[in-house]
């Protein structure tokens, strides 16, 4: 029986033998340290460099193309109304699962008293949920959600209908700009347990290349852009 | 289950060509992947630049792989996770089983992972009494059929919906046998319901990784179904099984690779879900696993470093080379008899399992070069296949007729006068023998060719003669 330390040493020594390098080589170490420290950006698609309104337009177009529904809400009242209307029009129970996110809590929910809000992670019974995206990258209509009590990860995968609220000011152009937001919150070289990049409702094309929505995750994704 | 082997490639290929159902299913490759990739590529003018950058990222990472593994490991531990090194497939299986046993696991859910197929994980866990549920729709179908995937990103591309409906009726218990399963949405809905119960009951979730990120100690999976996320979020323990070359240095490097991956594979701008997992759930997290393990598999990769086949380790398993390969398109994935089919498999399989076991695979290519052209990592697949052919030849036992023919040709080719004399005699003779048809449907010693297609006949003059005539008429 080999120990974990021995198997680790074996793999690393095989790699070094293949590369014909020594274990401790300052030049190589410095190259690696520098890249990890500087994390240089590669080419960013030109489409990600655009003005505010153009980015929101791109965000909306990309999400729609990927099968999501998008509402532009100019006021918090409009945002709440859009969610309540969606639940009603799709004959869903007026029950919304959500986390402890303070920005979501601050929405004017008293406008729609029929919508019952339940808090905590999702279970198999929940039909609809609401999360807030921390940031979004317009280049592919991608929303960035982070795990935690504010927006539990299960909200994004168990219910059949998922609402994501994103503030217009949190829509950036590229993935790299979104990463900078994460670094500003979690620090260099650190991430929360789960970062979900979500770009549409769940889908599969495994059978005969036919696209079907709602494979295991939400059948519908409704994104509300506020502001 | 039909256990195909790379040693029976020719037989498998002939059978595949005559399989009408398979041929019908394979038309979906062209209709779907090729068209969609081309469209996605045309919408991203920066694709070429990103490809060059991604190639440089991977080359840099591979040349410093030992150091990036150490940096990555440090970050995983810092975020509360565990890293296990597995020199061989058997080591990896044992490590995963041990973690499952220690967690008291009875049911394991799995996201799609080619590395877990490579190490034969399911059978190993099942033999220890643990139930394993594949949750990707394609992999679920493969599992209930007792087959291997025929494509690295579309496991059941070889099947039609009618065959899948039969499998569902046979294996999904407790449902009305006459329920309607005529459409693809019917099938998807049934699989969703059946697998939802597994997700909620699983003790351990196992996923692969499309990328590992040294900067943060994260594993990245890309999916469209959301099954990978349910697999790594709901159970108490999340195990990642990944091979060592999946490493990239930073989050920015991951972005560059991700911009190429989905566009090259399915032709999507990005997959529906791209998920970064870093360690177990944190204090105060209401969901997520309590423990996070990464099993890093070598299984032959370290031996590819510094040699003729290092470039293959840039592969991100997008499947573009399979989709664009005329040989794959004609026979499908199973005929290769190797977990990794198509051009990438023709290079990787001999590297992992030995050329003596898989000599037909690098020969199953017309060297048309489309695989290299569409490869987002610019892997020189045809020239590496050629290297395998050379290695196989040098190994010493090429077929006698092949050897004799090559020796004869080499003898003549090294003697220009003889070569021209022979050419000048044989070409008009063959042209006359072919008569007016210009081709042969049967030739002695060339049955392997003429049994399935005609051989074009020389047109009466050799290339050299035509060239000389052309030069002469030009100079006039």
Write out the DSSP string of chain A. Answer: ---HHHHHHHHHHHHHHHHT--S--HHHHHHHHHHHHH-------GGGS--HHHHHHHHHHHHHHTT-EEEEESSHHHHHHHHHHHHHHTT--SEEEE---HHHHTS-GGG-TT-EEEESS--TT--EEEEE-SEEEGGGTEEEEE-SSSS-GGGGTSSSEEEEEEEGGGEESSHHHHHHHHHHHH-TT---SEEEEE-SS-EE-TTTT--EE-SSS-SEEEEEEE-
List the structure tokens of A69. Answer: 């529904």
Distance between start and end Cα atoms, chain A: 62
Interface of B with A in 89-118 (CB under 8 A): 91
Q: Would the CB atoms of B269 and A66 count as touching at under 8 Å?
A: yes
Contact A156, A162 (CB under 8 A): yes
Nearest chain B residue to A217, by CA: B226
- H or E element at residue B237: strand B237-243
Q: What is the DSSP letter of B213?
A: E
Interface of A with B in 51-70 (CB under 8 A): 62, 66
CA distance B124 to B129: 9
- Minimal CA separation from B452 to chain A, in Å: 29
Place of tokens 């991977």: B58
Give the CATH number of domain B44-299; options: 3.40.50.10420, 1.10.10.10, 3.40.50.300, 3.20.20.80: 3.40.50.10420
Q: Is B4 helix (H, G, I), strand (E, B) or coil?
A: coil
Q: pLDDT digit string (tens) for B277-305?
A: 999 999 999 999 999 999 999 999 999 99
* Bridge partners of residue B247, in order along the sequence: B212
Closest residue to A16, CB basis, from B66, B156, B189: B66
Nearest chain B residue to A99, by CA: B286
pLDDT at B1 > cutoff 60 = no
pLDDT at A186 > cutoff 90 = yes
CB-based contact, B470 to chain A, within 8 Å: no
Contacting residues of A for B224, CB less than 8 Å apart: 202-205, 215
- H or E element at residue B316: none
CA distance A165 to A171: 11
How many alpha carbons fall within 13 Å on the CB side of residue B437?
10
Q: Is B12 helix (H, G, I), strand (E, B) or coil?
A: helix
CB-based contact, A187 to chain B, within 8 Å: no
CA distance B424 to B462: 6
Q: pLDDT digit string (tens) for B354-373?
A: 998 899 999 999 999 999 99
Q: pLDDT digit string (tens) for B105-114?
A: 999 999 999 9
Distance between start and end Cα atoms, chain B: 70
CA distance B331 to A212: 27
Domain residue limits, chain B = 44-299, 400-475
Q: What is this model's ipTM?
A: 0.98
CB-based contact, B7 to chain A, within 8 Å: no
For residue B29, the model assigns a pLDDT of 85
| Mean pLDDT to the nearest integer, A124-146 | 97
* Bridge partners of residue A116, in order along the sequence: A95
Nearest chain A residue to B281, by CA: A193
Q: Would the CB atoms of A215 and B304 count as touching at under 8 Å?
A: no
pLDDT at B416 > cutoff 50 = yes
- Minimal CA separation from A38 to chain B, in Å: 9
Q: What percentage of residues in chain B have a pLDDT greater than 70? A: 99
Closest residue to A216, CB basis, from B31, B135, B286: B135
Contacting residues of B for A45, CB less than 8 Å apart: 44-46, 259
**Of B424 and A96, the one with more pLDDT:** A96
Q: Is B82 helix (H, G, I), strand (E, B) or coil?
A: strand
Q: What is the DSSP letter of B457?
A: P
Residue A1 pLDDT level (bands cut at 50, 70, 90): low
Contact B233, B290 (CB under 8 A): no
CA distance B419 to B421: 5
Closest residue to A193, CB basis, from B135, B255, B285: B285
Contacting residues of B for A31, CB less than 8 Å apart: 60, 64
- H or E element at residue B211: strand B211-213
pLDDT at B2 > cutoff 50 = no
User: Around Cβ A18, how many Cβ atoms within 10 Å?
Assistant: 19
Nearest chain A residue to B228, by CA: A216
Segment among A116-130, B50-64, B207-221, B407-421 with least mean pLDDT: B407-421
For residue B435, the model assigns a pLDDT of 77
pLDDT at A167 > cutoff 50 = yes
Residue B3 pLDDT level (bands cut at 50, 70, 90): low
CA distance B6 to A210: 31
Task: Provide the mean pLDDT of chain A.
Answer: 96
Q: What is the DSSP letter of B245?
A: G
Contacting residues of B for A216, CB less than 8 Å apart: 135, 192, 195-196, 199, 225-227, 230
Q: Strand B237-243 and strand B211-213: pairing? A: unpaired
Residue B424 pLDDT level (bands cut at 50, 70, 90): confident
Nearest chain A residue to B76, by CA: A190
With CA atoms as reference, report the closest residue to B382 among B319, B331, B325, B332.
B325
Interface of B with A in 244-303 (CB under 8 A): 244, 249-253, 255-256, 258-259, 266, 268-282, 284-288, 296, 298, 302-303
Q: Would the CB atoms of B259 and A18 count as touching at under 8 Å?
A: no
Q: pLDDT digit string (tens) for A19-35?
A: 999 878 999 999 999 99
CB-based contact, A217 to chain B, within 8 Å: yes
Domain residue limits, chain A = 4-38, 47-226
Task: Provide the mean pLDDT of chain B.
Answer: 94
Q: Would the CB atoms of A200 and B154 count as touching at under 8 Å?
A: no
Under CATH, what is the fold of the domain A47-226?
Answer: Rossmann fold (3.40.50)
pLDDT at A181 > cutoff 70 = yes
- The residues near B118 (Cβ < 8 Å, ≥ 6 apart) are B89, B243, B297, B299, B339, B352
């Amino acid at each position: 029986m080999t120990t974990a330390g021995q198997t680790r040493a074996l793999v690393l020594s095989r790699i070094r033998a293949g590369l014909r390098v020594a274990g401790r080589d300052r030049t190589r170490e410095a190259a690696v340290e520098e890249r990890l420290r500087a994390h240089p950006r590669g080419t960013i698609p030109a489409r990600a460099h655009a003005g505010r309104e153009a980015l929101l337009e791109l965000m909306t177009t990309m999400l729609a193309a990927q099968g999501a529904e998008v509402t532009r809400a100019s006021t918090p009242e409009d945002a709440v109304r859009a969610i309540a209307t969606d639940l009603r029009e799709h004959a869903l129970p007026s029950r919304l699962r959500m986390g402890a996110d303070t920005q979501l809590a601050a929405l004017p929910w008293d406008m729609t008293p029929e919508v019952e809000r339940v808090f905590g992670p999702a279970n198999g019974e929940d039909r609809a949920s609401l999360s807030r995206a921390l940031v979004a990258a317009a280049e592919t209509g991608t929303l960035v959600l982070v795990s935690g009590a504010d927006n539990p990860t299960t909200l994004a995968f168990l219910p059949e209908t998922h609402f994501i609220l994103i503030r217009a000011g949190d829509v950036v152009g590229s993935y790299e700009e979104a990463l900078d937001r994460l670094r500003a919150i979690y620090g260099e070289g650190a991430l929360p347990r789960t970062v979900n990049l979500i770009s549409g409702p769940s889908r599969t094309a495994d059978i005969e290349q036919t696209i079907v929505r709602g494979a295991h995750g939400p059948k519908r994704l409704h994104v509300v852009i506020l502001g | 289950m039909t256990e195909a082997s790379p040693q029976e490639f020719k037989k498998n290929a002939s059978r595949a060509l005559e399989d009408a159902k398979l041929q019908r299913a394979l038309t979906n490759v062209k209709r779907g992947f090729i068209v969609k990739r081309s469209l996605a590529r045309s919408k991203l003018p920066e694709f070429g630049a990103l490809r060059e950058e991604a190639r440089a990222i991977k080359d840099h990472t591979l040349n410093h792989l030992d150091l990036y593994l150490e940096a990555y490991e440090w970050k995983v531990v810092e975020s509360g996770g565990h890293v296990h090194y597995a020199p061989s497939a058997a080591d990896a299986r044992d490590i995963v089983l041990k973690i499952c046993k220690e967690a008291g696991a009875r049911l394991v859910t799995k996201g799609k992972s080619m590395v877990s197929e490579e190490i034969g994980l399911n059978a190993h866990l099942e033999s220890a009494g643990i139930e394993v549920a594949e949750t990707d729709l394609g992999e679920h179908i493969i599992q209930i059929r007792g087959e291997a995937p025929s494509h690295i990103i579309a496991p059941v591309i070889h099947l039609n919906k009618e065959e899948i409906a039969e499998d569902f009726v046979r294996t999904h218990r407790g449902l009305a046998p006459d329920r309607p399963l005529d459409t693809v949405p019917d099938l998807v809905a049934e699989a969703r319901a059946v697998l939802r119960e597994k997700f909620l009951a699983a003790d351990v979730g196992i996923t692969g990784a499309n990328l590992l990120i040294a900067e943060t100690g994260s594993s990245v999976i890309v999916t469209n179904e959301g099954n990978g996320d349910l697999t790594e979020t709901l159970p108490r323990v999340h195990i990642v099984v990944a091979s060592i070359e999946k490493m990239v240095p930073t989050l920015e490097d991951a972005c560059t690779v991700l911009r190429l991956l989905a566009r090259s594979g399915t032709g999507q701008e990005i997959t529906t879900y791209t998920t970064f997992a870093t360690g177990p759930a944190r204090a105060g997290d209401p969901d997520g696993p309590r423990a996070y393990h990464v099993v890093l598999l070598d299984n032959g990769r370290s031996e590819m470093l510094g040699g003729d086949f290092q470039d293959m380790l840039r592969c991100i398993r997008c499947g573009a080379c399979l989709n664009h390969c005329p040989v794959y398109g004609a026979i499908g994935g199973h005929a290769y008899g190797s977990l990794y089919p198509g051009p990438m498999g023709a290079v990787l399989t001999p590297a992992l399992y030995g050329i003596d076991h898989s000599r037909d695979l690098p020969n199953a290519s017309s060297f048309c070069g489309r695989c290299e052209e569409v490869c987002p990592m610019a892997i020189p697949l045809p020239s590496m296949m050629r290297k395998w052919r050379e290695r196989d030849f040098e190994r010493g036992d090429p077929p006698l007729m092949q050897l004799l023919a090559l020796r004869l040709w080499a003898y003549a080719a090294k003697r220009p006068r003889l070569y021209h004399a022979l050419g000048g005699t044989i070409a008009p003779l063959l042209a006359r023998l072919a008569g007016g048809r210009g081709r042969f449907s049967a030739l002695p010693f060339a049955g392997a060719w003429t049994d399935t297609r005609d051989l074009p006949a020389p047109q009466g003059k050799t290339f050299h003669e035509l060239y000389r005539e052309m030069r002469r008429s030009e100079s006039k």
